[in-house]
Structure 1
Amino acid sequence: MEDKEDKIRLVQMKLMEVLDFISDYLPLINCHSNDFLLNNHWETFLSEPIRSELDSLSAAELVSLLSQTHSIEKVVLGEDPTQYPNPSSWNFQCEYLDKASSSGDKKWKIYTKDMQHFCPNWVHEDLKSFLQDAQRCSLHNSDILSNVDDLDINGDLTLKDSMLISTFMNQKKTHEVEVMGELCYRLSQKYDTNVVVDLGSGKGYLSTHLAFQHKLSVIGVDAQTINTKGASKRADILSRQWEGLTRNKVLRSQKTVLGKLGKKRKKELRKAGGWGDTFTGNQRDIKRSSSPRSDIMDDVLNGFAQFFEEQERSRNEPSSHDNVKSNSPPSQNKDCCDSMKTKTKNCEGEEQNATDERLNEKSEGSENISLNIGGNFLERKNTAETSALKANHFLITTYIDTDSDISEIVMQAMAGESLSSFTKHSCEHGDTVQQTKDSYLAENPVLGEGPTLMLTGLHTCGALGSNILRLFVNSPSVKVLCNVACCYHLMSEKFVASPFEDKEDLNEEPGFPLSEFLRKNKIGIGRQARNLASQSVNRRAQDAEVLAKQFPRMLLQKILYDQLGYVRSDWKGLRKLDQKSTDMFDYVMRAFIKLGLPTDKVNRELVECYCEKYRDHRRKFAAFFQLKTALAPCIEAVIVLDRLCFLLEQECVYDAKLLQLFDPVTSPRCYGIVSVKT
């Protein structure tokens, strides 16, 4: 491993490079799209040469603005010591923040009326140089990113013969769970961790995968009871269907047609047997086997034989057909948790509700022969197999902050009802409570000896994304960290006031900056900047045309101001309202009614007049937002590198690496941090 001090210096110099670049454009980065017409963003935040160049671009050129591939030569930081100052002597300079701090307050207030008209300092005279510098400041074009090979965990994470069970997950979540699950499994093997704590586990996609697929002991932690209950119900259903899902997965990979076995094949399956192992315990052996007959293992054949025997008997029982319906999986809980209402909610539920509604459908298509045929087969299945699957999967509802005791949470989750029932049984035989607890811990060495933990989180939201790093550093029992964060706008800053700070938890530890390097320089970027960091350059680069989906909201903002003389930042309930409207007039009327405003002065002629007046501004906004989006990777680089720098600054941290884990088009928040303590 490279010297830790050299690595810290490399990260610090990259932070200096990115911050020096964006400091001139923070006013542009922090302007609110809703005010594009109201505050004339086109004239205020773009220089005349940039406006002219954007105006001259054709529709096709505007579309390709983010997908242009410039020949960028990577600058290896540190090779030229005169190019960058020593990090210890660097001072962050930003006229925009200096202006905002003139009031003498502890925090810069950049969302005041005056600051919304503060012009950027355009140091770039053309689009090409601006885009080149923006790309150079992204994580993708930095020398900070590590490869999976650097982790020394034996190869690629996306295996073609992976046994991932994708049931109940959309394409995005399947991709993320496959990669993250394989990474967590290999890290746990390499560093001998015996418990994985999944913070912000949400609906339990990652935690059930680690417990069922990789046989790891997993604690799923979430702040919302509804999430924990949903995860528990999903685990129940998945455990009952697991044998059929995994069996069909193997058969499908071997191109075996399910549900269409001939009489001869059925006879062979009935004769096969004599093995007591369950299928799920041998999945990795299936992948490794190269025997010609290994397309179906003996235990799978045995499972098939048992199934057909049960099915044969069930045909002769008159009540079997009546039991099919009662043994079908229970309906999915349709309640969902709003990710904006909790700081510890894991955002892996994104775009997933529609998939969850299909939870009761056949899990792997019509060919799944083990789930919905023969009620008595399901009814008579040995519940011990289901219990064995869930034996390593624990769920607990608790709020996670920097004062949380991870070891105590693990003890509470793993003991839970098991300790209660053990205590009841032992106390009936005269044992004291302490004797009972000691006996229980002795019989459960993972708890008694103190488990070695790995903290993980797939798209930990807002404050949890920063708190998980603090917990990793402050928890002696935690050895490994594997985290991918998201929703940067939902955390707070130490030096910049949020426009919604009066409604936020002021006792919460600021999520940015974390590193001592940025704290001593009092770095601030702003909430709108952090919101911009969630925009996906890669996805927009895939679009066939540049869209201006937000333009109706901007036009509404202008109408609201002209009719009322004011607009308020706390107006809510307008998101996606335009999608429910038939036209702009209908949208405006719905918005006024939603906000409880008088509509007597609003008519169709008025709205059509606004539409005609600002028709040409739609294209201008599309170009404006396309340019602004080019800065999104720079903001994300600052946030992620700050967290990497924070970990490297800690004495207890042996190493910390930043990796691109996911495909950036499929999963825009694709950067993960892996860290190991001494």
Structure 2
Amino acid sequence: MGCLEMFAHLTAPNSEKIRESMESLLQFLQMTAQISGAHTVDFYTKDVWKNHVAVSPESVLEIFSQQQKPCYEFRGVPDLSNIFSPTTNQLVNLESFVEAVQYNSLMHPGLCTPVEEILETFASQRADKHVKEIKTDQFMNDKKSHEVGIMSQFVVALANVYGIKQVIDLGAGKGYLSSYLSMRYDLKVYGIDSSHTNTDGANERNRKLKKYWKVYKTDARTTSKAKKSDQKTEGLLPKNSCQDVNADQDISRQREGDIRCPRLSNLEPCRDDDLSLLSDSSKRTSNKESNKATFDNSSDSPFSFLDILPSGAVEMPSMSQCVSRVLSEQEKEQRKIENIKAKKLTESHVYSPLTSYVTADTELHDIITDLEESMMVGLHTCGDLAPNTLRIFTSKPEIRAVCSVGCCYHFLSEQFDEAGKEQKTESWGFPMSQYLKERRWYIGRNARMSACLALERVAVGQGLPTDSLFYRAVLQVICKEVYGITQRSYSLVPQSKNILKIDQRVGKIFSKSSSFTDYVRKSLKKFGQDDSKISDHEIVGYYQKYETRRNELEAFNRLKVFLAPCIEALILLDRLCYLREQENLAWSGLVKMFDPVKSPRCYAVVSLKQP
């Protein structure tokens, strides 16, 4: 089956379906903007519940608790006319509200392509189709392991369609996806991140990774000397501990079948979110522990870290050759050449972290000197970097495919303001499509913040810090009634003393406070206010007064959580619509890549050029 024929078999909505879905979303989101755009901080000062909701808090909490796992039932186009009161504009029909939310989410049939469908379609192109699953959770936390394990299979399947060996990872962060793609699949990966901290850390992991490989080579040499040449290689076990070695020392050529890699379970345990297994030295193991090690590579054994390395990444000396034999000059020269080749091969398997701030106008040749036909990926690229990834893909002929999973929608820049007036900046994160540009559509920061909420996680009891949200809302009442602070400003310079600057945030004070009183005093000091103007007794009084209305705040936040998938759907459909407006693209779609409970930002925007 040819590439174009395979693309044709993939599920994806046509352009008309995308526009219909966006039109329905625009109508619903405009109607519910009063909820998604409300800020929790102002909940009590602006009496948000009374002004926007006419149902009881208990009914909202009850219907949410019934959805331990969100159930999507589609009964046709929902009637939006009875959701809000035509006179008061308050929410009056909760059941219709939930039905409309489900209808306008990306779970609506036909909008998304399951990742399994693409992997199955390109199964013949996958280099690892007969390879066992890798236990990535041995050196990543559960969330990262889940994401990297699935996305790496997806990336490799697409890369093989085009015969691509170079991958560009934008917003690479700590380099988990980049390093895994490089080690596991023998790809040449450039991880680009704007943070020096991230790339410096990635470079340090690279250094430790090389040292990690060489430690095992040294250990194998020691073992070889300790064993007689007529011993069976399958029975050889290392008896000496792994010592620090010079990272520039020569490495010997491995002879196929001479040795198998030791299990990771015998190494120093790793920490979550850190490749700490790549330590500068391995821990000394006793003979008793060594005797428990096994090199068995049978089908029942889990793969270890060293199992994921490509051929040539770990060069081990022959265990059967006689190490005491004197080498001839010709053999020495040959050994030297092999060492140089092996060293270059090893280094080629470790990805290259680069520091650069990437925009839509970035010239990749200035960052990557050996740029060739590549695939561009992004795993939870922040804010505008996700849409810029798509713009680079469409403008650079070298980039043949893209797989972008965005996040941090609250950091997206918007082209238009609430009045539809165009902002004075050169590029924007939203909207991307001409379809929404013509409507001068505006989401708003509070609604984009709402889009970051995770419905599936909250439904199973995770994700909403209700205590800290309640503390902050009551604190705002104190700020208004005692200190005359009536609003917050997102401009750098406040217009009056009654407006808090954007940088005057509470931050992580809640986690550092022993009580609500302590929280209020620390916050007031951070705001630059005189906390002696209010007594402890008065602070406790505010807490007790609003504690009886706490369920209103919790219920309202549940309504915002319900709307989160709809706002996210509009952002992602806008990106898909932008791709459909381009020429020479063979296929574009939204792919549900991850389990939303494990990884809430689970949708990837994928596009492929004509092969």
TM-score (norm 2): 0.73
CA distance in structure 2 between the aligned counterparts of 1:168 and 1:2, rounded to whole angstroms: 36
Give the secondary-structure state (helix, strand or coil) at the position aligned to 2:607: strand
Moved more, 63-72 or 561-570: 63-72
CA distance in structure 2 between the aligned counterparts of 1:166 and 1:238, rounded to whole angstroms: 17
Q: Are residue 557 (structure 1) and residue 476 (structure 2) matched?
A: yes
Relative distance call for 1:560 and 1:360 in structure 2 (3 A) is farther
Moved more, 630-639 or 381-390: 381-390
User: Residue 395 of structure 1: which of 353, 364, 372 is its match?
Assistant: 353
User: Residue 403 of structure 2: which of 471, 482, 500 is its match?
Assistant: 482
Relative distance call for 1:194 and 1:20 in structure 2 (3 A) is same
Q: Equivalences for 1:94-493 in 2 at 5 Å?
A: 121-122=89-90, 125-148=92-115, 149-150=117-118, 152-154=121-123, 161-241=132-212, 268-269=232-233, 298-301=257-260, 355=274, 360=279, 388-392=345-349, 393-411=351-369, 414=370, 451-493=372-414
Tell me if the contact between 1:66 and 1:630 (Cα under 8 Å) persists in the aligned partners. Answer: no
1:58-104 alpha-carbon deviations (Å, 9 max, x no partner):
x66553357453632366x9xxxxx9xxxxxxxxxxxxxxxxxxxxx
1:324-359 alpha-carbon deviations (Å, 9 max, x no partner):
xxxx99xx9xxxxxxxxxxxxxxxxxxx98646786
Tell me if the contact between 2:414 and 2:442 (Cα under 8 Å) persists in the aligned partners. Answer: yes
1:368-411 alpha-carbon deviations (Å, 9 max, x no partner):
9799xxxxxx9x99897665333142232211111111234221
- Where do 5+ consecutive residues of structure 1 fail to align? 78-82, 84-118, 247-262, 280-296, 305-327, 333-351, 372-377, 415-446
Give the secondary-structure state (helix, strand or coil) at the position aligned to 2:368: helix
Tell me if the contact between 2:401 and 2:609 (Cα under 8 Å) persists in the aligned partners. Answer: yes
Q: Are residue 55 (structure 1) and residue 61 (structure 2) matched?
A: no
Task: Quote how far apart the aligned CAs of 1:618 are.
Answer: 1.2
CA distance in structure 1 between the aligned counterparts of 2:442 and 2:130, rounded to whole angstroms: 41
Q: Are residue 526 (structure 1) and residue 444 (structure 2) matched?
A: yes
Give the secondary-structure state (helix, strand or coil) at the position aligned to 1:403: coil
Give the secondary-structure state (helix, strand or coil) at the position aligned to 2:466: coil
- Where do 5+ consecutive residues of structure 2 fail to align? 1-7, 80-86, 218-226, 238-251, 296-303, 305-313, 318-338, 490-501
Q: Which amino acid aligns with 2:449?
A: N
Tell me if the contact between 2:72 and 2:107 (Cα under 8 Å) persists in the aligned partners. Answer: no
Tell me if the contact between 1:28 and 1:120 (Cα under 8 Å) persists in the aligned partners. Answer: no
Q: Which residue of 1 aligns with 2:244?
A: none
CA distance in structure 2 between the aligned counterparts of 1:534 and 1:171, rounded to whole angstroms: 20
Tell me if the contact between 1:494 and 1:510 (Cα under 8 Å) persists in the aligned partners. Answer: yes
1:549-570 alpha-carbon deviations (Å, 9 max, x no partner):
3100111111111111114342
Q: Which residue of 2 aligns with 1:339?
A: none
Q: Which amino acid aligns with 2:474?
A: L
1:190-233 alpha-carbon deviations (Å, 9 max, x no partner):
11223111111111111111111100111111112222111111
Q: Which residue of 1 aligns with 2:66?
A: 64
* Identity across the alignment (%): 31
Give the secondary-structure state (helix, strand or coil) at the position aligned to 2:376: strand
Q: Which residue of 2 aligns with 1:283?
A: none
CA distance in structure 2 between the aligned counterparts of 1:476 and 1:188, rounded to whole angstroms: 15
Task: Quote how far apart the aligned CAs of 1:6 are.
Answer: 7.3
Task: Quote how far apart the aligned CAs of 1:575 are.
Answer: 1.8
Q: Which residue of 2 aligns with 1:671?
A: 603
Q: Which amino acid aligns with 1:634?
A: C
CA distance in structure 2 between the aligned counterparts of 1:643 and 1:469, rounded to whole angstroms: 8
Relative distance call for 1:477 and 1:494 in structure 2 (3 A) is same
CA distance in structure 1 between the aligned counterparts of 2:254 and 2:179, rounded to whole angstroms: 18
Q: Are residue 17 (structure 1) and residue 24 (structure 2) matched?
A: yes
CA distance in structure 1 between the aligned counterparts of 2:161 and 2:107, rounded to whole angstroms: 27
CA RMSD, Structure 1 to Structure 2 (Å):
4.2
Moved more, 584-593 or 546-555: 546-555
Relative distance call for 1:171 and 1:5 in structure 2 (3 A) is closer
What is the count of residue pairs matched by the alignment?
505
Q: Which amino acid aligns with 1:163?
A: I
CA distance in structure 2 between the aligned counterparts of 1:200 and 1:384, rounded to whole angstroms: 32
Moved more, 209-218 or 566-575: 566-575
CA distance in structure 2 between the aligned counterparts of 1:634 and 1:404, rounded to whole angstroms: 32
Q: Which amino acid aligns with 1:542?
A: V
Q: Which residue of 1 aligns with 2:240?
A: none
Tell me if the contact between 2:112 and 2:591 (Cα under 8 Å) persists in the aligned partners. Answer: yes
CA distance in structure 2 between the aligned counterparts of 1:618 and 1:579, rounded to whole angstroms: 19
Tell me if the contact between 1:513 and 1:642 (Cα under 8 Å) persists in the aligned partners. Answer: yes
CA distance in structure 2 between the aligned counterparts of 1:365 and 1:506, rounded to whole angstroms: 62
User: Residue 549 of structure 2: which of 617, 631, 641 is its match?
Assistant: 617
Give the secondary-structure state (helix, strand or coil) at the position aligned to 1:300: coil
Task: Quote how far apart the aligned CAs of 1:142 are.
Answer: 3.5
Tell me if the contact between 1:547 and 1:622 (Cα under 8 Å) persists in the aligned partners. Answer: no
CA distance in structure 2 between the aligned counterparts of 1:66 and 1:496, rounded to whole angstroms: 37
Relative distance call for 1:552 and 1:675 in structure 2 (3 A) is same
Give the secondary-structure state (helix, strand or coil) at the position aligned to 2:380: strand
Q: Which residue of 1 aligns with 2:455?
A: 537
Give the helix-richer structure, 1 or 2.
Answer: 1
